[in-house]
Structure 1
Amino acid sequence: MDASKLHELTDWLIDGGRSAASPSRFMAECCERMVAAGLPLWRVGVFVRTLHPDIYGRNFIWKPGAEVEVGTVDYNILESPGFHTSPLIIVFQQGLEVRARTDDPRSERFPIIDELRAEGVTDYVALPLPFIGGTVNGSSWTTKQPGGFTDEQLAALRSLVKPLARVVEIITLTRTAASLLDTYVGNRAGERILGGQIRRGHTETMNAAIWLSDLRGFTSLSDRVPAETVVDVLNHYFDCQVAAIRNHGGEVLKYMGDGLLAVFPIDEYVGDEQQVCSRVLEAAHESRASVAELQCPIGDAVERFRFGVALHVGRILYGNIGGGNRLDFTCIGPAVNLAARLEKIASQLGRTVVASEGFAGICRGGWSDLGEFPVAGFSKAARVYGLVDEKSAA
């Protein structure tokens, strides 16, 4: 063991491992420094739980001479037999160290030891990574050194995981913040908020295609079925749209009951207005098909659903709006107001997809002129277009 290199490594960790530009690079550099200090590491894993609606945790796996493997696990892992027979479950639940030498019969209680023995591993140790808030995450360390880790090497590992836990916690908190912002306000808005756009009135103008939709008959549905069923219906209904919106470059900004507001930015990075509007229309076709296939057993009947979406394009004001210290990152402007009015017209006409004259003029083909309609709050009537392949259900 090289005491001076261990000391340098500890200082590097205390300083935040700032020479590493990413979590993967941090993992690689940390393990390489450990090996250089005399720790005979073979496979190292860091396992961190995260605050995410779909992802239970993330793992980083390092091996000498290989790229760090980064993976995620969903909540199904909690039902997995392999998870409940892993040494890490003891670390997560009890915060205890677990050591399993591959030549020790007592280690056979962990099925993973057979796999490690086949790789030539001689020793395995799982160490807790306790966070300041009380959460305990885990790390695993293996070696192929004959006889396994020495007492001196284990002592070095135990001392190093303390500063390591602090850096991992900071990285995790930063990622959690980004993940929560992505979940609740959207990716682009989340990036802006993390970048410092957190003051009321901090806005910018943006040219965008606007998507505003709602579920037909939602008020009646809410009145005649249990609230829990309504929530389940809404979740499935939004699933029909969100994947299509995101896959075609859009960002969901807001859910308003059964309503959904999304924007598709138009700029030099994501394409010109014709490209963007074409992708928006593709998303509308996909969402229409998905909603048409959606059905939900309610009582003795099977409920089918319809929705309407209005498409428009224009300048919007995008940023922080609110009162006091309670802000909302959203978009406003005449273009958004017109999209909202068009959605009401779609409902009146029994149409699923309608577009403004501006949107239909950019994304040409496949539209029929439905006429001009007075629009509340606007001095001029708006010409509205519907898809040729769609008949009115009014």
Structure 2
Amino acid sequence: MDASRLRELTDWLIDGGRSATSPTRFMAECCERMVAAGLPLWRVGVFVRTLHPEIYGRNFIWKPGAEVEIGTVDYNILESPVFHNSPLIIVFRQGLEVRARVDDPASKRFPIIEDLRAEGVTDYVALPLPFIGGTVNASSWTTKQPGGFTEEQLAALRSLAKPLARVVEILSLNRMAASLLDTYVGNGAGERIMGGQIRRGHTETMNAAIWLSDLRGFTALSDRLPAETVVDILNQYFDCQVAAIKKHGGDVLKYMGDGLLAVFPIDEYVGDEKQVCSNVLEAAHESRTSVADMQYPIGDAVERFRFGVALHVGRILYGNIGGGNRLDFTCIGPAVNLAARLEKIASQTRRTIVASEGFAGICRGGWSDLGEFPVAGFAKAARVYGLADETSAA
């Protein structure tokens, strides 16, 4: 092995692997440097747990001459026989190194070893990557070298695992912060906060299509059903909207009880407001179908649901608002206020989807003029439009 290259690699890791511009590039360059230093690597995996409501962990797999593969596993992995019979579970739960030579009969207790034998692998070692916070993540290293890893090569891998763990922890924490921000404030807001827009008063104006919806009869529903059931219903109800909103370029900013506020940014320089509004309307159509199809069994009955959504377009103030060091990244402005009033009009007229004159004027076709309505807080009445394929029950 090349001792000088190993020292250079250690220094590169201690310095944070700065020449790598992304986690995948870091993984590739790290493994390539190891091979250049004399480590006969075939397949390398790094497995990191995440703090995410749906994803238990992420894995990065490197092989010589191939792109780094990135995968995710959900929480079902915890019940999987494959995971429970894997060497990695020992690393995760006990923080111990696991060695498994393919010619060692004791290695047969791990089903993965037979798969590796078929690839021509001769040796496997799983090493812990302990984080400063106390969690233990894992790495796996395989070789096709006859006889497996030498003791010198194993010692090199163990010594490199320590600085590797520090870099992986930093990358993991950065991704975790971004993931949590996306989860709780939305993608657009999360990017701005990570970019340094964190002080109270840091705001910007933007032109956007606005989506404001709520569940019909929610107050009565909350009164007659257990709180746990109501939460489950709300989660399913929001699922009916969020997937469509994100699919069509929207950013969910806030949940307010049964209410949902989302924005669809409009690029004023590109002039894409017609396309954006068309996307918003398509998302509304999809959400209407999903909510109508939603069923929730309660006892011998099956609960069905209706919702209403108001669509508007205008300028909003978007940024940090709050008191002291407790801030909320949200949007305000007359356009948001009007959308909230329109949503109430949707309820009054028993419509599912209503739009302002501005929105209907951009996204033409398929609208019925419902007339003018007085709007609390606004000097002028607002002309409201409903979809032509809906009939008012008012």
After TM superposition, the score normalised by the length of structure 2 is 0.99
Deviation at 1:170, TM superposition (A): 0.1
Match of residue 255 from structure 1:
255
Does 2:148 correspond to 1:165?
no
Alpha-carbon deviation of 1:299?
2.3
Match of 1:359 in 2: 359
Which secondary structure does the structure 2 equivalent of 1:347 belong to?
A: helix
The separation in 2 between residues aligned to 1:271 and 1:54, in whole angstroms, is 36
Counterparts of residues 193-208 of structure 1 (less than 5 Å)? 193-208=193-208
Q: Which amino acid aligns with 2:267?
A: D
Deviations 1:283-319 (A, max 9, x none): 1110001000001011221110000000000000000
Q: For 2:156, what is the secondary structure of its paired residue? A: helix
Q: Report the Cα distance in structure 2 between the residues aligned to 1:279 and 1:35, rounded to whole angstroms.
A: 49
Aligned to 1:102: 102
1:212 and 1:262 in contact (8 A); partners too? yes
Report the Cα distance in structure 1 between the residues aligned to 2:247 and 2:269, rounded to whole angstroms. Answer: 16
Matched, 1:114 2:92: no
CA distance in 2, matches of 1:243, 1:368: 27
Q: Distance in 2 between matches of 1:353 and 1:65?
A: 53
Whether the 8 Å contact between 1:270 and 1:276 is mirrored in structure 2 is no
Query: 1:322 matched to which residue of 2?
Result: 322
Partners in 2 of 1:94 and 1:269 — Cα distance?
Answer: 56
Q: Percentage identity across aligned positions?
A: 89
SS of equivalent residue, structure 1 residue 274: helix
Contact 1:77 1:83 (8 Å CA) reproduced: yes
Cα deviation code 1:257-290 (max 9, x no counterpart): 0000000000058761111101100011100010
Structure 1 residue matching 2:146: 3-state secondary structure: coil
Map residues 224-239 of structure 1 onto 2, 5 A cutoff: 224-239=224-239
Aligned to 1:215: 215
Instruction: Give the Cα separation in 1 of the matches to 2:216 and 2:2.
Output: 70
Computed over aligned residues only, the root mean square deviation of the Cα atoms, in angstroms, reads 0.9
- When residues 149 and 199 of structure 1 are mapped into structure 2, their CA distance, relative to the original with a 3 A threshold, is same
Instruction: Letter of the 2:338 partner, please give it.
Output: L
1:54 partner amino acid: E
Aligned to 2:303: 303
- Output the CA distance in 1 between the equivalents of 2:393 and 2:171: 53
- Displacement over 6 Å in runs of 4+: none
How far is 1:372 from its partner? 0.5
Asked if 1:192 is matched to 2:195, the reply is no
Matching of residues 279-298 of structure 1 within 5 Å:
279-298=279-298
Say if 1:76 and 1:270 are closer, same or farther in 2 by CA, change over 3 A. farther
Judge conservation of contact 1:320–1:328 (CA < 8 Å) in 2: yes
Query: What is the deviation of 1:392?
Result: 1.7
TM-score normalised over the length of structure 1: 0.99
**How far apart in 2 are the matches of 1:333 and 1:144?**
64
Letter in 2 for 1:162: K
Report the Cα distance in structure 2 between the residues aligned to 1:312 and 1:58, rounded to whole angstroms.
Answer: 39
Please give the alpha-carbon distance, in whole angstroms, between the structure 2 residues aligned to 1:351 and 1:41.
63
| Alignment correspondent of 1:335 | 335
CA distance in 1, matches of 2:249, 2:15: 39
Residues 207, 268 of structure 2: 8 Å contact kept: no
Question: Aligned partner of 1:380: which letter?
Answer: K
Kindly tell me: are residues 313 and 22 of structure 1, through their superposed partners in 2, closer, same or farther at Cα, counting changes over 3 Å? same
CA distance in 2, matches of 1:299, 1:345: 33
Query: What is the one-letter code of the residue matched to 1:295?
Result: Q
2:385 corresponds in structure 1 to 385
Structure 2 match to 1:68 = 68
Distance across 2 between alignment mates of 1:67 and 1:380? 60
Distance 1:163 1:89 in 2: 22
Q: SS of the residue aligned with 1:107?
A: helix
Structure 2: distance between partners of 1:280 and 1:382: 21
Which residue of structure 2 lines up, in the alignment, with residue 128 of structure 1? 128
Distance in 1 between residues matched to 2:62 and 2:346, nearest whole Å: 55
Equivalent residue number for residue 151 of structure 2: 151
Cα 1:17–1:35 shift into 2, 3 Å: same
In structure 2, relative to structure 1, the CA distance for the partners of 1:269 and 1:114 (3 Å cut) is: farther
Structure 1 gap segments, 5+ residues each? none
